[in-house]
């Protein structure tokens, strides 16, 4: 087996805004002595920003142009982080996840508008990034980590171990995180609130 072809040169960190991509990338970069490159900066450099999505509060990016630019740069010992990181050809992709109610709190702390928060919490509930990542398959290896009860250093440590191949079969598999139960509990609570209001009439 060609060992050289298995060398990890680029790690991609994707995830809904607020899942901790930048914090984890910094912690991991310190651990590996690597550089962090933000996908937004790459997109800007590539001239791939084609607009602004007011609702989601993010740039609209020509992802094919972004991917081509990333490839041409022949990045090495680099962590690329951003919510479009899964569009780049990376050796290892990590999708960060966060329980929707906790994500909402993290985004409130960023002082985002209620619309922007709702849009992104919904995207997290619907596993949007995971599904896109799964369909794109530009990665050689892909994992998914629930960051809800972990600090960025702990998440970086998990990524480090995954890169070294230290995991049990099925651990941190892409698609292993689901908020279905959380979501059901949430909608149930909301329908109760509607009932209470209704009863007061």
Ligand X SMILES: Nc1ncnc2c1ncn2[C@@H]1O[C@H](COP(=O)(O)OP(=O)(O)OP(=O)(O)O)[C@@H](O)[C@H]1O
The H or E element containing residue 99 is: none
Give the nearer residue to Mg ion in terms of CB position, either 44 or 182. Answer: 44
Q: 12 is in the binding site of which of ligand X, Mg ion, none (Cβ under 5 to 8 A by kind)?
A: none
88, 37 contact by CB (below 8 A): no
Could you give the string, one character per residue 4-33, with x where binding to Mg ion holds by CB under 5 A and - elsewhere? -----------------xx-----------
CB closer to ligand X out of 55 and 189: 55
Tokens of 117: 């928060």
Report which residue's Cβ sits closest to ligand X.
20
Q: What's the farthest any 2 CA atoms get from each other in the chain?
A: 72
DSSP β-ladder status, 58-61 and 49-53: antiparallel
Round to whole Å and give the CA distance between 68 and 64.
6
Tell me: does residue 111 bind ligand X (CB under 6 A): no
Residues 23 to 82 in contact with ligand X, rule: CB under 6 A: 23
| Cα-to-chain-centroid distance, residue 16 | 5
- State the residues that interact with ligand X by CB under 6 A: 15, 17-23, 83, 106, 109, 147, 150-152, 155
């Amino acid at each position: 087996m060609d060992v050289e072809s298995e060398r990890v040169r680029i790690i991609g960190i994707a995830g809904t805004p607020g899942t901790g991509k930048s914090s984890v990338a910094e912690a991991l970069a310190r651990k590996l002595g690597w550089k962090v490159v933000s996908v937004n900066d790459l997109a800007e450099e590539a001239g791939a920003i084609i607009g602004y999505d007011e609702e989601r509060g993010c740039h609209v990016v020509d992802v094919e142009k972004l991917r081509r630019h990333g490839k041409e740069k022949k990045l090495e010992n680099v962590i690329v982080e951003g919510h479009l990181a899964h569009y780049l050809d990376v050796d290892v992709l990590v999708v960060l996840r966060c329980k929707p109610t906790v994500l909402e709190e993290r985004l409130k702390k960023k002082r985002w508008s209620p619309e922007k928060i709702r849009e992104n919490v919904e995207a997290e509930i619907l596993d949007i990034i995971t599904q896109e990542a799964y369909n794109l398959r530009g990665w050689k290896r892909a994992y998914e980590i629930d960051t809800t009860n972990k600090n960025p250093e702990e998440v970086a440590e998990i990524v480090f171990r995954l890169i070294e191949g230290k995991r049990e079969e099925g651990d941190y598999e892409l698609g292993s995180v689901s908020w279905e139960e959380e979501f059901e509990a949430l909608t149930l609570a909301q329908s109760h609130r509607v009932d209470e209001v209704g009863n007061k009439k």
